[in-house]
Structure formats: structure tokens, C-alpha cells
């Protein structure tokens, strides 16, 4: 028999909200920083990633992109990141946010970033059976015009693994303001790309950003979106449209200052019947992994094992991959649930 904690650790999982640079492991991050002479603000993982708030984290997040400089770095991070996530939480499928604009200043083209990243993830898929897709994230520090140009690059490059666009970081004013990028979203939709956006995340965010992402940007799913619980009409709208949410419990304790307990908005979203999935967001920086999000996050939220299984299945339903791939994953997850349930402590 296994404990509830082991059961949650071993559940097969998808992850739909994960920033590629944050799939770096701490040893590889430190190794690459030394290789390129990037001075870090501390020399051990505990101090390196001891953040107090979202602003501190974003400074470190931007710095992390500085250690990815050669195409092989992307392939290596991709391979090692998948291996780590399989060991840490039985990852079976993952979608990655990547923004090639971060690397353009170092002379890396869109293809210089995307091609080795996909090659590394393909190798990891052969090694561990972990499927993947890529979502190009608009950095909200950049202009609306540059976001349109980024979507043009995605379309021109045409990699079938790149299936959508999202948006991350905050605007230069420190706001979410999702509709700033409406032209880029329209263009992406015209070309058949899927749409998502980070909204309703922080303590000063409003439900309005969630509404704008649904009604103006016409997003297929939303990242975070916790402020939806502040407006019951929005909950009804998301239920009607079948909008899924990529919730990240551990990061909310740092970026939003919220305590993980049954009064948390993520628990309220689950209880309201919203299609909630679980992710790490930035595993390296928040010192988390997918196993911990289920093991600690769901336990502290007071979610039971059957709800945990439903959350894992929600991650398949909300993925941006093909229906064939989803059907294969549902069968695999169902088989693993059967095997795990025989070991479950009553």
C-alpha cells in the first residue's frame, strides 16, 4: 500500500504552464552561468531562489535567459528538464512557453532558438515517452507592434510543434493589460494558432483582465486566472465556453502572497466546476516540481484523490495537441490510475 502523498507523486501528469528557461535544473543553471561568465547573486540554490515577490522573481527570470546562448544549450536544457520532471512527478506531456525575443539581442534568430529546443524535446520524447507542444509567449515589456512581428515569425517558420501564443511578464507599468496585444492575437487566430494569456494572477490584478482575455482576445484557455472568483458572472462565462485554467499553487504563495489552504481561490475554482489543471510555472525559481504541486499543493488545498485524478485528466482535455494524442494519453492515464488505485490506502 502507498500513502496519499506517494499516490499524488506517482499520478501520471501533464503540465501546460511552464516557462522553458525555468525547466533548467539548479546545477545546470549554475554550470551554464560559470561557462558564460554570468555573475549570479548567490552561489547556492537556497539563496539563489529566495524570492519575496513577483518583482524580484521577474528580475531573476530575465537573468536566467542570459545563460542560454548557444543552440546546444536549448537542446540540453530540453532533454535534462524532461528527465528531471519525469523523476520528480511522472510527467507524461508538457507545453512550454518560450519567447525568442529574449535571445534576439545576443544574435540568436527565431530558428536558432526554436529548432534546437524542438530537437531536444523530440529526443526526450523518444527517451521517456513525454509528448510536448510549444507556445510562443509575448513578453509584455515589449511593444504591441513587436508582438505582431513575433506572430509573423511563428507563422513564417511554420514548425508544427509550435501551436499557440501566450503572454507573460508584466507591462512596463507593472500591469497585465492583456488587450494591449489584441492585434497579435487576431493575427495568430487567423493562422490557426491557439491562444492563452497570463491574467488575474497577482494580488492587485482584477477580474476585468480575465474577462478581456476571454471576450476580447478570445483565448482558448487561461494561465492563472484566479481573480475569476471575484466575479460570479465570469465563472458562468468560463463554464459556458469550457475555458480551462493552468493553476500554479506554489507560485501563488510567492507572487500573490496567498496561503495554500482550503480558502485559496484555486480550491474555489475547482469547487465551482471550472476545468483546473496544475503546473509549476517556473519550477527552478520557485523551488518546486510537478510532484510537489500535487503532493503539497493539493493536500494543503484540501483536494481529495478523485479530484486529483480529474485535475490530471483536465490537463489532457485542455492540451493544444491532436485529438489522437489526447485519446492515447487518456488510455494511458486510465491504466496508470487502475494500477495505482490497487495500492491506495483506504
Minimal distance, residue 255 CB to Zn ion, in Å: 9
x/- letters, 144..173, toward Zn ion (CB under 5 A): ------------------------------
Which lies closer to Zn ion via its Cβ, residue 208 or residue 281?
A: 281
Which lies closer to Zn ion via its Cβ, residue 135 or residue 308?
A: 135
Segment lying near Zn ion (by CB under 5 A), choices 23-31, 53-61, 255-263, 279-287? 279-287
Minimal distance, residue 12 CB to Zn ion, in Å: 22
One-letter-per-residue 3-state SS of the chain: CECHHHHHHHCCEEEEEEEHHHHCCHHHHHHHHHHHCCCCCCCCHHHHCCCCCHHHHHHHHHHHHHHCCCHHHHHHHHHHHHHHHHHHHCEEEEEEEECCHHHHCCCCCHHHHHHHHHHHHHHHHHHHCCEEEEEEEEECCCCHHHHHHHHHHHHHHCCCCEEEEEEECCCCCCCCCHHHHHHHHHHHHHCCCEECCEECCCCCCCHHHHHHHHHCCCCCEEEECHHHHHCHHHHHHHHHHCCEEEECHHHHHHHCCCCCCCCCHHHHHHHCCCEEEECCECCCCCCCCHHHHHHHHHHHHCCCHHHHHHHHHHHHHCCCCCHHHHHHHHHHHHHHHHHHHCCECC
Which lies closer to Zn ion via its Cβ, residue 147 or residue 340?
A: 147
Other Cβ atoms less than 10 A from the Cβ of 231: the count is 16
Minimal distance, residue 251 CB to Zn ion, in Å: 8
Contact 331, 40 (CB under 8 A): no
Minimal distance, residue 281 CB to Zn ion, in Å: 4
Segment lying near Zn ion (by CB under 5 A), choices 5-13, 35-43, 274-282, 318-326? 274-282
User: Residue 281, interface with Zn ion (CB under 5 A)?
Assistant: yes
Which lies closer to Zn ion via its Cβ, residue 118 or residue 137?
A: 137
Minimal distance, residue 205 CB to Zn ion, in Å: 13
Minimal distance, residue 269 CB to Zn ion, in Å: 17
Minimal distance, residue 147 CB to Zn ion, in Å: 17
Segment lying near Zn ion (by CB under 5 A), choices 37-45, 184-192, 278-286, 303-311? 278-286
Segment lying near Zn ion (by CB under 5 A), choices 21-29, 156-164, 273-281, 317-325? 273-281
Which lies closer to Zn ion via its Cβ, residue 23 or residue 337?
A: 23
Minimal distance, residue 330 CB to Zn ion, in Å: 26
User: Residue 220, interface with Zn ion (CB under 5 A)?
Assistant: no
Which lies closer to Zn ion via its Cβ, residue 222 or residue 270?
A: 222
Residue nearest to Zn ion (CB): 281
User: Residue 201, interface with Zn ion (CB under 5 A)?
Assistant: no
Provide the binding-site residues for Zn ion, judged by CB under 5 A. Answer: 281
Amino acid at each position: 500500500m502507498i500513502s496519499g502523498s506517494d499516490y499524488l507523486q506517482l499520478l501520471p501528469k501533464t503540465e501546460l504552464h511552464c516557462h522553458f528557461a525555468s525547466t533548467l535544473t539548479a546545477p545546470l543553471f549554475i554550470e551554464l552561468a560559470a561557462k558564460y561568465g554570468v555573475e549570479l547573486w548567490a552561489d547556492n540554490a537556497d539563496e539563489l531562489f529566495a524570492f519575496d515577490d513577483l518583482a524580484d522573481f521577474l528580475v531573476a527570470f530575465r537573468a536566467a535567459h542570459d545563460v542560454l546562448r548557444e543552440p546546444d544549450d536549448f537542446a540540453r536544457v530540453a532533454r535534462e528538464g524532461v528527465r528531471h520532471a519525469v523523476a520528480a512527478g511522472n510527467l507524461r506531456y508538457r507545453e512550454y512557453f518560450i519567447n525568442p525575443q529574449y535571445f534576439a539581442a545576443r544574435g540568436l534568430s527565431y530558428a536558432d532558438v526554436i529548432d534546437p529546443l524542438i530537437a531536444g524535446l523530440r529526443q526526450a520524447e523518444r527517451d521517456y515517452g513525454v509528448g510536448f507542444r510549444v507556445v510562443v509567449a509575448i513578453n509584455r515589456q515589449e511593444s504591441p507592434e513587436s508582438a505582431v512581428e513575433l506572430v509573423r515569425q511563428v507563422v513564417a517558420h511554420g514548425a508544427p510543434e509550435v501551436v499557440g501564443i501566450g503572454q507573460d511578464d508584466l507591462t512596463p507599468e507593472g500591469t497585465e493589460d492583456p488587450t494591449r496585444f489584441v492585434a497579435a492575437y487576431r493575427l495568430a487566430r487567423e493562422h490557426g494558432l491557439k491562444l492563452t494569456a497570463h491574467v488575474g494572477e497577482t494580488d492587485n490584478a482584477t477580474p476585468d483582465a480575465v474577462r478581456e482575455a476571454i471576450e476580447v482576445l478570445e483565448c482558448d484557455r487561461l494561465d492563472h486566472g484566479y481573480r475569476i472568483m471575484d466575479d460570479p458572472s465570469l465563472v458562468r462565462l468560463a463554464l459556458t465556453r469550457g475555458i480551462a485554467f493552468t493553476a500554479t499553487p506554489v507560485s501563488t504563495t510567492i507572487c500573490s502572497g496567498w496561503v495554500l489552504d482550503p480558502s485559496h481561490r484555486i480550491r474555489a475554482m475547482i469547487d465551482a466546476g471550472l476545468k483546473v489543471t496544475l503546473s509549476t510555472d517556473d519550477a527552478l525559481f520557485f523551488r518546486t516540481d510537478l510532484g510537489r504541486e500535487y503532493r503539497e499543493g493539493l493536500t494543503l488545498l484540501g483536494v481529495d484523490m478523485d479530484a486529483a485524478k480529474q485535475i490530471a485528466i483536465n490537463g489532457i482535455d485542455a492540451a493544444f495537441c491532436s485529438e489522437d494524442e489526447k485519446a492515447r494519453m487518456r488510455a494511458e492515464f486510465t491504466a496508470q490510475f487502475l494500477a495505482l488505485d490497487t495500492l491506495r490506502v483506504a
